[in-house]
A and B are shown apart, each in its own frame.
Chain A
């Protein structure tokens, strides 16, 4: 994860410097905000990764001489092989969005579908 973290740091620094340079060249606010917001995205990820020890920990995938056996038998967690809930999640999202066009009356229906799908996901995870 060290290489990835360094890349995020580099990206954040680049976007921050680009924003500063852009501001002093153009004094244009929209582009400056975009650059600075862009700087925040990788900076947040890098901050999170560093806090969780990404620069310290050495994982088997970072070891050039590691063997596949080093991770054999590792349990990643239970994953349902099939799920229908994404379909209802999208239907709920579309219905909520469509309420802006066809009337706010659709919001409760969309929200109900959305929450039902989220609950379905959660119950499935416990399974």
Chain B
């Protein structure tokens, strides 16, 4: 299919780039958004490198490139970095950049709170990394869940776990600050005519994510603080021998931990919902139904936390199984929205759309296996095996990370005024899609064959060898994809192939301003009469 788009013959001369010091202290939401995204991506490179070391260790049985202790630290820091320092902050970066533009506001509601939120995230991230590089025997190595009694000082001595706890508490503070800012901006700073039911889906999803963050992070921060008090000040809340209860920690942690899954995925539901209609040349199918599904997911996600605790024997399994199965319904509704939006459309398979389709395929597998694990009898068999590892990577990496790449390819022209390479982008997608499925599909097989997670080694000849080898080859392919992507970004920023203000024919308000937008965001706001104000402006004949 050939698609042509009108672009200005020459891009306007780029504004002089602000210096690095200005970038680090500027309260402009666009600047903070980019700081978030770039920092989060650097954390992704760190987390990815740790994953590559782990996969190399597991490529063959008995291969030893790291010690048992180091391996424990690797999976602890890898999980923490990817969840708390990459996916969620990247979504915060997109929200910071896009929400004021999408609702027609000049900035976020509280610009300095916004910058403070960023620095709390950076401070937390540095502490988490320090926790991983503490000297031998001192590093954090208790897993990203940090369950007591394993995380108590007698089993996890040293400063590493303490720094890790402090780091996560700082990230929690950052998330709460960011949530307040997002809610206030979306509710009180919308442009005239931008009613709540005309807000772009991405902004709506970030509203739900902000509320989830406000609800879920404080209990976890409290739980972690109690853990630190237990380690350093002799607190006994989790000490069973002193009448405490370690499962209280699990409740507090998972009351964050499961909504966190939706905190990580809902922003990228929003991203692909912005992309799919644009590249299908159709309006979103079922805007209201989609929103109601998002709100339902937001509410239900707060009542499913203890499905992570099925095997503890201290929670009501049927209650949490029922709630977890229920949440699959609104998630399924979204698939109808996405497929319905593509149905009959004139689909343009540009790179953002390819990543969105990859998201749909991967997330479907992650979602279906999640429904399987919601059933306690299956969960008892699969608990703590590679089946669970494969499941959550299909949702988090196959879902959220594909959403991140879709977002980068979609909004990079808006943020920089330059286009990324379509050819290299397709190569990145192909390498990442193949590499991802090669890495994690074999892990379903490993899980079914009973291989436990977090083991540094395995015996040969019991069905683990080939899937582990294939999985490691897949991980290397993903590393190549990331290298090609970084090359593409570097090349695009140097060559600066002009993007124009609206290279994709976008629908939401950010496409109605220049690329990159001016400091105050809009020289002139169009009238807002539907959920597609930029489209209405460009096609006045079909505007309502």
Interface residue tally for chain A (C-beta within 8 Å): 55
Q: Which residues 62-95 of A sit at the B interface, judged by CB distance below 8 A?
A: 62-71, 76, 79-87, 89-91, 93-94
Chain B residue nearest to A80 (CB atoms) is: B27
Q: Which residues 1-56 of A sit at the B interface, judged by CB distance below 8 A?
A: 1, 3-4, 7, 10-11, 14-15, 18, 22, 25-26, 28, 30-31, 34-35, 37-38, 41-42
User: Cβ of A68 and Cβ of B123 under 8 Å apart?
Assistant: no
With contact pairs A85-B112, A121-B112 given, residues A100 and B162 touching in the complex (Cβ less than 8 Å): yes
Interface residue tally for chain B (C-beta within 8 Å): 67
User: Cβ of B196 and Cβ of A34 under 8 Å apart?
Assistant: no
User: Cβ of A4 and Cβ of B191 under 8 Å apart?
Assistant: no
With contact pairs A25-B319, A82-B27 given, residues A67 and B232 touching in the complex (Cβ less than 8 Å): no
Q: Which residues 115-143 of B sit at the A interface, judged by CB distance below 8 A?
A: 115-116, 118-120, 122-123, 127
Could you tell me the distance between the alpha carbons of A7 and B28 in the complex, rounded to whole angstroms?
A: 29
Q: Nearest Cβ distance between residue B535 and chain A, in whole angstroms?
A: 17
Kindly specify which of B47-55, B86-94, B211-219, B267-275 makes contact with the partner chain: B211-219
- Chain B residues with CB under 8 Å of A3's CB are 195-197
Does B39 lie at the interface of the complex (its beta carbon under 8 Å from any beta carbon of A)? no
- Chain A residues with CB under 8 Å of B25's CB are 82-84, 87
Could you tell me the distance between the alpha carbons of A90 and B113 in the complex, rounded to whole angstroms?
A: 12
User: Cβ of A34 and Cβ of B190 under 8 Å apart?
Assistant: no
User: Cβ of A67 and Cβ of B192 under 8 Å apart?
Assistant: yes
Main secondary structure on B side of the interface with A:
helix
User: Cβ of A101 and Cβ of B163 under 8 Å apart?
Assistant: yes
Does A115 lie at the interface of the complex (its beta carbon under 8 Å from any beta carbon of B)? no
With contact pairs A1-B187, A80-B27, A90-B170 given, residues A35 and B303 touching in the complex (Cβ less than 8 Å): yes
User: Cβ of A4 and Cβ of B193 under 8 Å apart?
Assistant: no
Q: Which residues 230-251 of B sit at the A interface, judged by CB distance below 8 A?
A: 232-233, 247-248, 251
Inter-chain pairs besides A68-B527, A86-B112, A101-B163, 4 sampled, C-beta below 8 Å: A26-B319, A63-B192, A68-B193, A101-B159
Q: Which residues of chain A have a CB within 8 Å of any CB of chain B?
A: 1, 3-4, 7, 10-11, 14-15, 18, 22, 25-26, 28, 30-31, 34-35, 37-38, 41-42, 60-71, 76, 79-87, 89-91, 93-94, 97-98, 100-102, 121, 124
Pairs across A and B, CB under 8 Å, 27 listed? A11-B298, A14-B299, A18-B302, A22-B303, A26-B319, A28-B316, A30-B248, A34-B219, A34-B255, A37-B219, A38-B215, A38-B302, A41-B214, A42-B211, A60-B193, A61-B193, A63-B193, A64-B193, A65-B193, A68-B524, A79-B107, A79-B112, A81-B26, A82-B26, A86-B118, A86-B120, A124-B112
What 4 A-B pairs come out closest when comparing CB atoms? A66-B192, A60-B192, A61-B190, A86-B116
Q: Which residues of chain B have a CB within 8 Å of any CB of chain A?
A: 22, 25-28, 104, 106-107, 111-112, 115-116, 118-120, 122-123, 127, 159, 162-163, 166, 169-170, 173, 183, 187-188, 190-198, 211, 214-215, 219, 228-229, 232-233, 247-248, 251-252, 255, 295, 298-299, 302-303, 305-306, 314-316, 319, 524-529
